[in-house]
Amino acid sequence: MNRPDLNLLVTLDVLLEEGSVARAAERLRLSPSAMSRSLARLREATGDPLLVRAGRGLVPTPRAAELRERVGQLVQAGEAALRPAGNPDLRQLVRTFTLRTSEGFVQNFGPRLIARIGAEAPGVQLRFVPKPDKDSAPLREGRVDLETGVVEPDTSPELRVRALFRDRYVGVVRRNHPLSRGRITPARYAEGRHIGVSRQAHQDPIDAALAALGLQRKTVVSLVAGFATALALARHSDLVATVPERHTGNLRLGLFGFPVPLRLPEFTVSMLWHPRLDADPGHRWLRGIVRDACTPEP
pLDDT at 286: 96
Q: Which fold has domain 169-265?
A: D-Maltodextrin-Binding Protein; domain 2 (3.40.190)
- The full length of the chain comes to 298
Given a cut of 70, whether residue 2 has pLDDT beyond it is no
CATH number for 7-81 (one of 1.10.10.10, 2.40.160.40, 3.40.50.2020, 2.70.70.10): it is: 1.10.10.10
Judge contact between 75 and 13, C-beta under 8 A. yes
Q: How confident is the model at residue 85 (pLDDT cuts 50, 70, 90)?
A: low
Q: Do domains 7-81 and 169-265 have the same CATH topology?
A: no
Given a cut of 80, whether residue 82 has pLDDT beyond it is no
pLDDT at 86: 63
Lowest mean pLDDT among 86-95, 166-175, 255-264: 86-95
Query: Whole-angstrom Cα distance, residue 28 to residue 59?
Result: 20
Domain locations along the chain: 7-81, 95-166+268-293, 169-265
pLDDT at 44: 87
Given a cut of 60, whether residue 198 has pLDDT beyond it is yes
Mean pLDDT, the chain, integer: 88
The DSSP secondary-structure symbol of 252 reads G
Lowest mean pLDDT among 2-11, 82-91, 123-132, 169-178: 82-91
Q: Average pLDDT, stretch 251-276? A: 93
pLDDT at 83: 64
Q: What angle do CA 72, 75, 78 make, to 5 degrees?
A: 150
Query: Whole-angstrom Cα distance, residue 227 to residue 225?
Result: 7
Task: Please report, rounded to a whole number, the percentage of residues in the chain having pLDDT higher than 70.
Answer: 93
pLDDT at 173: 97
Q: DSSP for 182-232?
A: S---HHHHHHSEEEEE---SS--HHHHHHHHTT---EEEEEESS-HHHHHH
Return the CATH superfamily for domain 95-166+268-293. Answer: Periplasmic binding protein-like II (3.40.190.10)
Model confidence over 100-120: pLDDT tens digits? 998 888 988 999 999 999 999
Model confidence over 120-176: pLDDT tens digits? 999 999 999 988 777 888 998 899 999 999 888 888 888 999 999 999 999 999 999
- Find, among 225, 229, 99, 105, the residue nearest to 165 by Cα: 105
What are 7's strand-pairing partners? none
Q: How confident is the model at residue 61 (pLDDT cuts 50, 70, 90)?
A: confident
Query: Whole-angstrom Cα distance, residue 220 to residue 230?
Result: 12
Given a cut of 90, whether residue 94 has pLDDT beyond it is yes
Three-class HEC string of 134-178? CCCHHHHCCCCCEEEECCCCCCCCCCEEEEEEEECEEEEECCCCH
pLDDT at 8: 84
Q: How confident is the model at residue 203 (pLDDT cuts 50, 70, 90)?
A: low
Given a cut of 60, whether residue 201 has pLDDT beyond it is no
